[in-house]
Amino acid sequence: MQLEALFKQPQALPAVPKIVHELIDSFNNDDISIDVIVRKIAADPVLSARLLRLGNSAYYHVSRSIGTVHDAVAMLGFVTVRTLVISSGLTGGYKTMPGMDLNKFWRYSMHTAAVARWVAKAANQNVDLAFTVGLMHGIGQLVMHAGMPEQMLHLDKLASPLDPRRIDMESTSFGYSFANVGAELAKQWKFPPTFSEAIANFPDPLSHTPFDPVAGVLHLSAWRARAEHNGLDGDELAATLPTEVCLKLGLKPETLLTDMPPLSELCEGMEALLG
C-alpha cells in the first residue's frame, strides 16, 4: 500500500481529543491564550486526571501536591503541561490493535521518551521537544497495523515491531517504514517541522546533513529502550551503543553506559501516561 493510500484509510489514524489538536496548534501560534487552553484541559476529565497523576508522580519531584490544572501550569510550566497532555492524548488514540500488545508498545515509547529527556538535557537540547518526539516516534507502527493489518502481521511473524531489523524490513517490503509514516502524521497534524524531521531522520541520523541533533537524541533513546525491552546486558549494551551518534552530540559513550540512571528510575511515575 502506498503511503498516500495508507493515510486515506479512516481506521488508520488515531482518535485524539480536540484539545490535543489545539495544543499542537499552539506550537505555531505565539498569541495563544494559556488561560483558554487551561480551561479546556480542565474540562476534559480523562486528560486532566492523567495530568494531575503525572504532575504528582515521582517523575516530577514537585514540592507540594498539584490539585488543579492551574496548579500544574504554575508548578510545571505551560510547555511541560502541553507536552504531557499531548502525550496522554496520543497514548489513548488507539483502543485495540490487531497483532500489537499496546501496553508493551507504549511502555517502550515511554522508555524512549524518558531517555530522550535525559539525553537531551545532557546534550543541551530541548527536553520537552525530545520527550514528545520520543513518545510519538513509533506511532507509525500503529498507523500501519491499523491501516494494513494483514501485511503487518506477516512482517510481525518475521521480526517483532521492536526488533532492530524492523525498519529495514518495512522499507524493503513497502518502500517506507514506520518512521516515514510517523513523520507524515506529524506533518498532517501540523506539528512544527522539527518534529517530523526528527522522526523521519532518527533511524540513520548521521546520513542527513546538516546533522539534526534531535534525531540523534531520538536514535540513542530508541536504541536504549529497545535494548531494555530485549533484555540486553552491560556487555551487549556496550557492543551495540551507537558511538558515532554519541560523539556527534558531544557525549562520551560512558554517559549513556554508566552515568545514565536505570530506566526504572528514569520512568518512575510515568505509568500515569498509560491511564
pLDDT values of the chain reduced to their tens digit, one per residue, 275 residues: 899 999 999 889 998 889 999 999 889 888 888 899 999 999 999 889 989 998 998 888 888 899 999 999 999 999 999 998 998 888 888 888 878 899 899 999 999 999 999 999 999 999 999 999 999 999 999 999 999 999 999 999 999 999 989 999 999 999 999 999 999 999 999 999 999 999 999 999 999 999 999 999 999 999 999 999 999 999 999 999 999 999 999 999 999 999 999 999 999 888 877 76
Task: Quote the number of domains for the chain.
Answer: 2
- Which 8-state DSSP code applies to residue 210? S
**Are residue 135 and residue 159 in the same domain, yes or no?**
yes
Instruction: Using the CB atoms, write b or e for 37-57: b if 16+ within 10 Å.
Output: bbebbbebeebbebbbbbbbb
In a domain, 5, yes or no: no
**Are residue 22 and residue 152 in the same domain, yes or no?**
no
Question: Domain of 43?
Answer: 14-93
In a domain, 142, yes or no: yes
In a domain, 1, yes or no: no
Which among 65, 79, 67, 66 is positioned nearest to 37, based on CA atoms? 79
pTM (2 d.p.): 0.93
CB 17: neighbour CB atoms within 10 A? 18
**Are residue 142 and residue 246 in the same domain, yes or no?**
yes
In a domain, 6, yes or no: no
**Are residue 154 and residue 173 in the same domain, yes or no?**
yes
**Are residue 26 and residue 83 in the same domain, yes or no?**
yes
In a domain, 152, yes or no: yes
In a domain, 188, yes or no: yes
In a domain, 66, yes or no: yes
Domain final residue, candidates 93, 126, 150: 93
C-alpha cell at 54: 503525572
In a domain, 9, yes or no: no
Domain final residue, candidates 93, 118, 136: 93
